[in-house]
Amino acid sequence: MNSMTHKVVIVTGASSGIGRATALLLASEGANLVVGARGREGLDAVVAQITEAGGRAIAVAGDVRDEAFAQELVRAAKRQYGGLDVAFNNAGTTGDLGSTADVSLESWRQTLDTNLTSAFLAAKYQLPAMMERGGGSLIFTSSFVGYTVGIAGAAAYAASKAGLIGLTQALAAEYGPSAIRVNAILPGGTDTPMGRGMNSTPEAWAAVESMHALKRIASPVEIARSVLYLASDASSFTTGAALLVDGGVSINRS
């Protein structure tokens, strides 16, 4: 029996990158998936890939900034599978990068709404559903940016991702007595559409690789394996953690 057999899991940002890789990995481990993202076409492709491999998945399209979307993801999990055991709240944005003095208030709010307020909304509806099951695992995608490394021109992104760690710790303390574990992963550079968009030239890509102690960029499935650890009973005594999966970028000085 695989480690996630019969577990019901929500994954957001599931149409590409880390979210897609995680949905595919968890499905291969026996999980029943509810995948969410804004783009229906990408979600349908993920569901098709999972079902063709013998797994189970349904898609719910929407914007993580929308409270109704957070509710519907949980409702879909209950309707289709009877409850919720795990949620990987992964959808996010870099927002507008550049001089803080040039960032508009609207842009700041959009970045925080997408990365941080969406996590609050997700937890607001996911946690009660997990309590109904007697426990669960709640996982967020944070970042080393704003935690171990400061990067100029990324104020909104850094603030939102650092806020996720505070939220993780508060929820872990609040819901630990209910057997719900709450953790965050902090990926390093990863070969995703977002990563490619931020580093669009060979020179930029090489510079990012050199920042890491391993001198390379992660594949999405390498990050997904850490999510699998936190989602499964292998991490049964792990909560409130900010788990660096960053190839050593946080400690590298060469």
pLDDT in tens, the chain (254 residues): 578 999 999 999 999 999 999 999 999 999 999 999 999 999 999 999 999 999 999 999 999 999 999 999 999 999 999 999 999 999 999 999 999 999 999 999 999 999 999 999 999 999 999 999 999 999 999 999 999 999 899 999 999 999 999 999 999 999 999 999 999 999 999 988 777 666 668 888 788 899 999 999 999 999 999 999 999 999 999 999 999 999 999 999 98
Class of domain 8-188+222-245: alpha beta
Residue ranges in the chain assigned as alpha helix (H): 17-28, 40-52, 67-81, 105-112, 118-132, 155-175, 193-198, 202-211, 220-231
The partner residues of 10 in beta bridges, in order of sequence, read: 34, 87
Domain spans in the chain, listed from the N-terminal domain onward: 8-188+222-245
In this structure, are strands 136-141 and 86-89 parallel, antiparallel, or unpaired? parallel
Identify the active-site residue in 81, 157, 175, 229: 157
DSSP assignment letter at 114 = I
For residue 130, the tally of other CB atoms under 10 A from its CB is 26
> Are 77 and 57 a contacting pair, CB within 8 Å?
no
Specify whether 147 is catalytic.
no
> Are 240 and 172 a contacting pair, CB within 8 Å?
yes
